[in-house]
Amino acid sequence: MHALRRSIAATALVAAGIAAPAAQADVKPGRTIENFHGINFVAIDGYPGGEDVRIEVLRRGVVIGHATKRTDADGLIELNHTGDGDCFTTPTPDILPGDVIRTTLVDDPADTDFSVVRDVRREEPVVEYVGDDPLTPETEGEPVIRVAGHAREPGTTTALDNVEIRLNRAGGRWRVSDRKDWRVNPEIGLDGSFVAEFRGASPADIAAVASAEVAAEWIDGDAETPSDITVDDGTGDGPCGPATRTAITQVTPAVVNAAWIADPAHAGRVTISGLAAPVGVDAVRVGIVDADGAPVGTVEEVVPTDGVWSAAIDVSDRPDGAVHVRVEYVGETAPIAQTTTIRKDATAPELVRADLAEGTYASAQAVHLSSPDADVALRDIRYTTDGTEPTAASQRYTGAVSVTADRTIKAIAIDAAGNPGPVATFAYVIQPPKPVVLDPVVIEKPVDVIVEKPVEVVVEKQVEVIREVAVPQPVAAPVVAKPVVAKPVAPLRLGAVSHRAAYKLAAARKGIAMRVARVGTGLTAVLNRGGKVTVVRSGGSYAVKLKVARKGTYRLTLTPQGGAAVSKTITFKVV
């Protein structure tokens, strides 16, 4: 079953226009990609912390939704979970079985993972009473809670293994399990269908079934370190708004430069793609319009396939600047037309300038480079000093280039569209001045002086020489200061903290609150795992509000502010 699942996963990737990684898992070890396709919620976990990751949802090779977010310290990113900064950049995609979720590290584009959304569905629970006597009344006998559904590879009847059905009780515990969640691993039929049976329910359990949340979960890999998870816990709109079934979702490229036009593989053609509702949209027309909305050139008409469409338009003959593209949906219930804008810039930037003229200098120099083009920043100047031609991969200019010996600087400017300019060359020679050599100085031989008669010296007065003698002085005894003993300061301690030992996952996702007695001038709260923590002062105490998305054990560290403080750690579970 495991080998077959990988084979079908690879087939789905190929159908989506993506090459499946050879001889390795679709998701790297230690990482998890999880999707709740019924509510269009995506989560990734175990990725490098503090890294930007692009998350895309693809259908038949067309990106129907994407977002780039930064992982938290635990490597977690969630999309369409709370609605607070975690929405897709595009309209919320309507995620369906067979779609592919792709992750790419922004700083390492080769680091890519893939996950295929599996066809996991469950129905609402049904309570039936089973007795040995076929004439047993409907309300007598053993009560059995049944949840039907299926777990299959998308587009097939190939059954999945490792499926778990959960009943999550609202506001209490199941008496039969003494837990908020009641779990059963059903037997899966050859066609992927299942009926999960929950037995041993008490009358109170039976009464709580109607309000319980039901989830069917498929896990690929070990339960403690899963790599791929598909969950069906119902359908509905997430916090970021209803899923979009007809829209433009991708423009490739959004900026057209000279290289794109010159490349025979593209020849100036831009691909516009998106979603189309399976019912109500029969065709999609794509064409260029002017600033007034009038058509310019040919209009491409395409028929959507499996709810997606893609069309290519040629912008090579359009002038530089904004190119407006109109997308019109044709059908009985088709929405109004949409317009997107492409920027065309096929003009290369001007030569790079240097603030030091070429030539010969007597000492080391510093050369500053600049570009006359307004859309070329200093960071978009690349240069070499070894005589080779500069490219976009050459050293980035960040400051003055030092010239301490003969050196030739070659530089290019790259504009915002990626167009490289012509190569500018600056040659410098460092030639220190030659030393000055003086003529030798001739010194004639000295003349001897002969004194024929000695000179008589008369001492008129004897001079008494007195030597000063230093007499050591007694050294005063050192003064020893008495030590100052600081009075101990009592550390700040927290008062009582009101909290539960465990919270239900649904409640934790919406938000749970704890109350802390007021101590000090403030309160700091730190959660050891991914989640959102908010501290609000409320009268004579503090309210700590938490939102978490995953089950597990959490530790919340509370520290008072305003002096020496003693922290308190609260441990609770989300189940």
Torsion sign across C-alpha atoms 260, 264, 270, 272: negative
Q: What percent of the chain has pLDDT over 70?
A: 83
N- to C-terminal Cα distance for the chain? 30
How far, in Å, CA of 67 to CA of 77, rounded? Answer: 10
pLDDT of 3 strictly over 50: no
Task: Please report the pLDDT score of residue 141 as a whole number.
Answer: 73
> 10 Å Cβ neighbour count for 25?
16
Mean pLDDT of 293-301: 91
pLDDT top residue among 570 and 388: 388
Do 325 and 286 contact (CB within 8 A), yes or no?
A: yes
Least confident of 184-198, 341-355, 421-435, 440-454: 440-454
Which structure tokens are listed for 327? 């997308």
Task: Please report the pLDDT score of residue 66 as a whole number.
Answer: 95
pLDDT top residue among 289 and 549: 289
pLDDT of 60 strictly over 50: yes
pLDDT top residue among 458 and 107: 107
Q: How confident is the model at residue 442 (pLDDT cuts 50, 70, 90)?
A: low
Mean pLDDT of 180-194: 94
- Complete DSSP assignment for 473-492: PPPPPPPPPPPPPPPPPPPB
pLDDT top residue among 565 and 418: 418
The class (CATH top level) of 353-430 is: mainly beta
Task: Please report the pLDDT score of residue 489 as a whole number.
Answer: 52
Side-chain half-sphere CA neighbours of 276 within 13 A:
29
How far, in Å, CA of 89 to CA of 67, rounded? Answer: 5
What confidence tens digit (pLDDT) does each residue in 21-59 have? 333 348 999 999 999 999 999 999 999 999 999 999 999
Task: Please report the pLDDT score of residue 24 as a whole number.
Answer: 36
Task: Please report the pLDDT score of residue 478 as a whole number.
Answer: 57
Q: How confident is the model at residue 239 (pLDDT cuts 50, 70, 90)?
A: very high
β-strand pairing of 77-79 with 193-199:
unpaired
pLDDT of 67 strictly over 60: yes
Taking alpha carbons only, the member of 267, 279, 342, 341 closest to residue 307 is 279
Q: How confident is the model at residue 12 (pLDDT cuts 50, 70, 90)?
A: very low
Q: b/e per residue, 197-225, with b = 16+ CB within 10 A?
A: ebeebeeebeebbeebbbbbbbbbbeeee
The domain made up of 247-344 has a fold known as: Immunoglobulin-like (2.60.40)
Task: Please report the pLDDT score of residue 2 as a whole number.
Answer: 31
Taking CB atoms within 8 Å and a gap of at least 24, the contacts of 406-409 are 406/430, 409/354, 409/367, 409/369, 409/383, 409/384, 409/385
Which structure tokens are listed for 237? 């709109």
Q: How confident is the model at residue 453 (pLDDT cuts 50, 70, 90)?
A: low
Task: Please report the pLDDT score of residue 341 as a whole number.
Answer: 92
Q: How confident is the model at residue 495 (pLDDT cuts 50, 70, 90)?
A: confident
Task: Please report the pLDDT score of residue 488 as a whole number.
Answer: 56
pLDDT of 457 strictly over 70: no
Angle in degrees, CA 98, 101, 107, rounded to 5: 160
Task: Please report the pLDDT score of residue 508 as a whole number.
Answer: 84
How far from chain centre, in Å, is Cα 542? 32
pLDDT of 519 strictly over 70: no
Task: Please report the pLDDT score of residue 448 as a whole number.
Answer: 61
Task: Please report the pLDDT score of residue 432 as a whole number.
Answer: 92
Question: CATH 2.60.40.10 occupies which residues in the chain?
Answer: 353-430, 497-574
Task: Please report the pLDDT score of residue 349 as a whole number.
Answer: 93
In whole angstroms, how far apart are CA 365 and each of 15, 352, 361, 377, 401? Answer: 59, 18, 8, 23, 8
Torsion angle of the four alpha carbons 131, 132, 137, 143, in this order, in degrees rounded to the nearest 10: 0
Beta-strand ranges (E) seen in 100-212 are 100-105, 108-116, 119-122, 126-130, 142-152, 163-168, 181-184, 193-199
What confidence tens digit (pLDDT) does each residue in 96-150 have? 999 999 999 999 999 999 999 999 999 999 998 876 555 545 556 789 999 999 9
In whole angstroms, how far apart are CA 119 and each of 95, 154, 428, 484? Answer: 11, 5, 68, 75
The domain made up of 497-574 has a fold known as: Immunoglobulin-like (2.60.40)
How far from chain centre, in Å, is Cα 44? 10
Task: Please report the pLDDT score of residue 515 as a whole number.
Answer: 83
How far, in Å, CA of 143 to CA of 572, rounded? Answer: 33
- Cis amide prior to 253 (ω within 30 degrees): yes
How far, in Å, CA of 550 to CA of 41, rounded? Answer: 13
- Complete DSSP assignment for 50-87: T-EEEEEEEETTEEEEEEEEE--TTS-EEESSSSSS-S
What confidence tens digit (pLDDT) does each residue in 464-488 have? 444 544 445 555 555 555 555 545 5
Mean pLDDT of 362-388: 90
Do 550 and 45 contact (CB within 8 A), yes or no?
A: yes
What confidence tens digit (pLDDT) does each residue in 155-164 have? 898 999 999 9
Mean pLDDT of 234-241: 89
Task: Please report the pLDDT score of residue 214 as a whole number.
Answer: 95
Torsion angle of the four alpha carbons 396, 399, 400, 401, in this order, in degrees rounded to the nearest 10: -20
Task: Please report the pLDDT score of residue 132 as a whole number.
Answer: 55
What confidence tens digit (pLDDT) does each residue in 308-347 have? 999 999 999 999 999 999 999 999 888 889 999 999 999 9
Task: Please report the pLDDT score of residue 7 as a whole number.
Answer: 35
Task: Please report the pLDDT score of residue 297 as a whole number.
Answer: 87
How high does pLDDT run on average in the chain?
Answer: 84
